[in-house]
Chain A
Amino acid sequence: MPTVSMTVNGKPVTAEIAPNTLLVSFLRENLRLTGTHVGCDTSQCGACVIHIDGESAKACTVLALQANGAEITTIEGLAKGNNLHPMQKAFQENHGLQCGFCTTGMIMSAVDLVKKHGKPDDATIRKGLEGNICRCTGYQNIVKSVKAAAQEMEG
């Protein structure tokens, strides 16, 4: 079996894996980082979004081997110790989550969205999160959360 090496949440990891192992399976099963979720099988729902070298990506559509040498950040690595990322705080402050299943992917997508757009308006946020499905919130409080976090992230 081939060997894969990458940095996950700041820690170097190396493992022997079957070549068809998806990155999301590697994170969930091998590293037991279960905050990254699987909600569909067609790369539509966005529950599995992580950052690869700082860019958001759907971990269900990347082979672990493709991430060889990459810097991976998952939801577990977003906070600095006990200090939550402003996006995490904003989701709690603005009731941006209900069941929580889509939330981790939603937060990871939103962080990248704000990085790219600065202070996005409602329409930009809604368009930017088009690849993340939430069945609970109707998105309104997610939009509110992202806007609030954007203020903090800039400041």
Chain B
Amino acid sequence: MGTQTGIGASVKRKEDKRFIIGKGRYLDDISRPGQTYGYFIRSPHAHAKITSLDSTAALKAPGVVAVLTGPDMQADGIGPLICGWGITSKDGTPHKAPAHPALAIGRVRYVGHQVALVVAETLQQARDAAELVEIEYEELDHVIEVGDALAAGAPQIHDDVPGNLSFDWELGDRAKTDGAISAAHHVTRMKLRNNRLIPNAMEPRAALGDYDSGTDEITLYTTSQNPHVHRLVLSAFNAVAPEHKLRVIAPDVGGGFGSKIFIYSEETVCAWATKKLNRPIKWTAERSESFLSDAHGRDHETFAEMAFDANGKILGLKVSTKANVGCYLSTFASAVPTYLYGTLLSGQYTIPAIYCEVQAGFTNTAPVDAYRGAGRPEATYVVERMIEIGAREMGIDPAEIRKRNFIAPDAYPYETPVIMTYDSGNYALAMDKALEAIDYSGFAARKAQSQTKGKLRGIGFSAFIEACGIAPSAAVGSLGAGVGLWESAQVRFNPTGSVTVFTGSHSHGQGHETTFAQIISDQLGVPIDQVEISHGDTGKVPFGMGTYGSRSLAVGGSAIMKAIDKIVEKSKKIAAHTLEASVEDIEHSGGVFKVAGTDKQMTMAEIAFSAYVPHNYPADVEPGMDETAFYDPLNFTFPAGTHIAEVEIDPDTGTTEILDWVAVDDFGNVINPMIVEGQVHGGIAQGIGQALLENCVYDKESGQLLTGSYMDYCMPRADDLPTFRVQTINTPCKTNPLGVKGCGEAGAISAPAALMNAITNALGKEIDMPATPEKVWRAAQGL
């Protein structure tokens, strides 16, 4: 296909029109006839017994339809929320995942915990009536930090989880790693804090349950990255409705970043309550509810030891992490600090021995789960901070020490000591390009110039790797995943030659409606405006596992490629029949089917028409042109690259100015460079947010969330960020048909380490994230 709309072209996004004219259809934009409004009453306490709940007065208030509680759900047989990934502890016992009822039963465990739903004719009436629900609490001791929660004598959050320990997991060879450390020339030892974040997609979570008593079908509109997974879990585990009587629609979704993967209390309650009350019920989170009850991210306390020989070659890495999982295990919470974390601790390096242990502790805070990068930013932060500090301690240039340790471009497939097999990469090439782009050799002069102005200049590296394209089902199944992680695609030609693609990969900002259409246009020669991408509705799309882990293109795109293969195979038979040739003689290229060595040919559009108007048609071929494929990846993909940040610090004010940012990423083949670049920008922005601005803080004394609004939680704004200089290198992935690796998370994974390396380089001392002006000022002043 022409380069204008095919693979590799920066096609302007097809989906933009509706968004720029205000015709996007987000959840709160949808209303159903006879709709009621739900308002959740939430716990004001971090930990308390519910001693009584009286809704008598509320039920008499104007417009109130119902007040529903946890015991009501239990009585209706609605099951608790689940964690879908089983982790096995060192001692062979399964992780502890205490029952998580969608509405609290008897006890609340964090501020914001859902206690009851008030349903009324208007939102105002529901809110007003919530004030009339009388709830008595008996406060219990609480614990906020994971280190405190796992210490002896900590308050018990769950009666059946001694010591608040969900699991104590390990990966790698402890003895070998200990041996490497004791025999090393130099060992770098560091405590690292990966700060807790709140995802903050700009569209708050929302749900609208709509029960049809005529068909006994529940339609749940919800802000989901994976509507089929919602349907599966709500049906199989929560018993809201059988799968064929539950339709889940995720319309336009205003950002996710992981936070809309999970099956939360609120949508479970709305799906159940709509049938119970036989009325549509809409709930839209206020931003303060998002802060309180969206799954948070990160929150690790880590001690790491990196062992080096005299030349700076890494001999071993030992990592001990305490991961705060909040008060319950959320949908994928157990996988994040384990198989998405420990498995990436080899970074881009040949490290002979690695050992990682992770203790996951419950605390009286919101559940913690996947947030953009999910485990892999935490791993990159450990590896890239440790190697940088090691280089400083040993007096080796930070770029040079990385090069001495890179896995060589001819070493693939490369098996790490932490169960990953990298298929491809060229880490030195990305590093060299980044060094050139930032003019590394000129840094010393620039630093000296800053000094003359009384400023501290620093440069920081991050050579990150991630495991994306999640994930080969058998492999993750053996590691505890409760689901398969394939993707499906249906490619349907219409008789007039236009195409509708149904994909399980939901798009909530990633631009699938354009990227996926480019694949069709490229492979089958269909003009891109004749391709429609449909996603987000279990009533339309056959199946799907959704969008997360930078998997949409690598897995969802590959499923589309498989469906295209089936279309081509069938089309060859039709072309052979029509052109009176043998199937073996039909050659296909970009939607043109030609008899080899002749000028006889048919276009894809002609073949599609023939398939629906089969007047002259092969007897052994079914009419129609509509193929479905499922694709299960063979391996993870391994995007990698180097980011370099250059900063200038004003020691008098503690402010950090990011002067330059260079990113050289290897995403394999690229379908739409414009979209890829945009994804990198956004990822870096979130990574900078983590390193410089954002921090979720609970008050240890009261258990209250102190950073519960945009007045207190510092989101990156336009004037906080620099202009990023982004480029890609392209070593194709060897394990999927598109050769793609995924780009959505890279920036968020790489940026925190690069920026903290730059800031600590400037300061000449260590500080933890976020590098707020106060912390930086104290460090600069030697306080």
Contact = CB atoms under 8 A, between A and B. Distances in A.
Contact of A139 (B287, B510, B674, B721): B721
Contact of B202 (A45, A127, A129, A139): A45
Interface in A13-72: 18, 28, 33-42, 44-45, 47
B682 A40 contact: no
Given A35-B21, A75-B22, A84-B21, A138 B202 contact: no
Query: Chain B binding site: helix, strand, loop or mixed by DSSP?
Result: loop
B120 to A, nearest CB: 15
B549 interface: no
A117 interface: no
A22 to B, nearest CB: 11
B678 A41 contact: no
Given A40-B287, A99-B203, A91 B20 contact: yes
Given A133-B710, A141-B681, A99 B287 contact: no
Interface string A104-136: 100100000000000000110111011011111
Given A91-B20, A98-B682, A102-B202, A136 B287 contact: no
A109 to B, nearest CB: 10
Nearest to A20: B124
B22 A35 contact: yes
Contacts of B453: none
B288 A41 contact: yes
A101 B724 contact: no
B24 interface: yes
Contact of B710 (A33, A45, A127): A45
Interface string B697-719: 00000000000011100011111
A103 B26 contact: no
A143 B718 contact: yes
Interface in B473-522: 508-511
Interface in B19-33: 19-26, 28-29
B686 interface: yes
A33 B23 CA distance: 9
A92 B17 contact: yes
B201 A135 contact: yes
B254 A100 contact: yes
B22 A34 contact: yes
Contacts of B18: 100
A35 B24 CA distance: 7
Contacts of B677: 95
Contact of B675 (A95, A103, A139, A142): A95
B20 A47 contact: no
Contact of A126 (B28, B253, B719): B719
A152 interface: no
B531 interface: no
A130 B22 contact: no
Q: Which of A47, A126, A140 has the most CB of B within 10 A?
A: A140
Interface string B399-442: 00000000000000000000000000000000000000000000
A101 B256 CA distance: 11
Interface string A82-94: 0010001001110
A39 B675 contact: no
A92 B26 CA distance: 19
B286 interface: yes
Interface residues of A, number: 54
A138 B721 contact: yes
Contacts of A107: 20
Contact of A100 (B19, B674, B709, B717): B19
B24 A137 contact: no
A84 B23 CA distance: 13
A101 B255 contact: yes
Contacts of B510: 98
Nearest to B253: A99
Given A95-B675, A101-B254, A104-B19, A135 B287 contact: no
A21 B255 CA distance: 28
A26 B559 CA distance: 44
Q: Which of B19, B124, B254, B677 has the most CB of A within 10 A?
A: B19
A40 B203 contact: no
Contact of B508 (A75, A99, A133): A99
A8 interface: no
B526 interface: no
B221 to A, nearest CB: 14
B204 A39 contact: yes
Nearest to A42: B709
B244 interface: no
B692 to A, nearest CB: 13
A82 to B, nearest CB: 10
B287 A37 contact: no
Contacts of A122: 723
B200 A129 contact: no
B345 interface: no
Given A95-B678, A101-B254, A74 B22 contact: yes
Interface string B670-697: 0000110110011111100000000000
A4 interface: no
Nearest to A33: B22
A107 B20 CA distance: 8
B200 A135 contact: yes
Contacts of B540: none
A137 B21 contact: no
Interface string B646-689: 00000000000000000000000000001101100111111000
B509 A99 contact: yes
Given A92-B16, A100-B254, A75 B675 contact: no
Contacts of B511: 98
A79 interface: yes
Contact of A91 (B16, B200, B204): B16
Contact of B674 (A45, A95, A101, A103): A95
A18 B719 CA distance: 38
B675 A135 contact: no
A132 B718 contact: yes
Contact of B718 (A42, A95, A142): A142
A143 B511 CA distance: 20
A44 to B, nearest CB: 4
Nearest to B672: A95
A132 B720 CA distance: 12
A140 B202 CA distance: 17
Contacts of A95: 12-13, 674-675, 677-678
6 contacts: A28-B29, A100-B24, A103-B20, A129-B718, A134-B202, A137-B685
Given A36-B22, A41-B287, A99-B509, 18 more contacts: A34-B29, A37-B26, A37-B203, A40-B287, A44-B709, A47-B202, A99-B254, A100-B24, A100-B509, A127-B719, A129-B719, A133-B715, A134-B718, A135-B257, A137-B678, A138-B747, A139-B685, A140-B723
Interface of A: 18, 28, 33-42, 44-45, 47, 74-76, 78-79, 84, 88, 91-93, 95, 97-104, 107, 122-123, 125-127, 129-130, 132-143
8 cross-chain pairs, A with B, having the tightest CB-CB distances, nearest first: A35-B22, A101-B254, A100-B19, A99-B509, A138-B685, A138-B681, A44-B710, A75-B22
Interface of B: 12-13, 15-26, 28-29, 124, 200-204, 252-255, 257, 286-288, 508-511, 674-675, 677-678, 681-686, 709-711, 715-719, 721, 723-724, 747
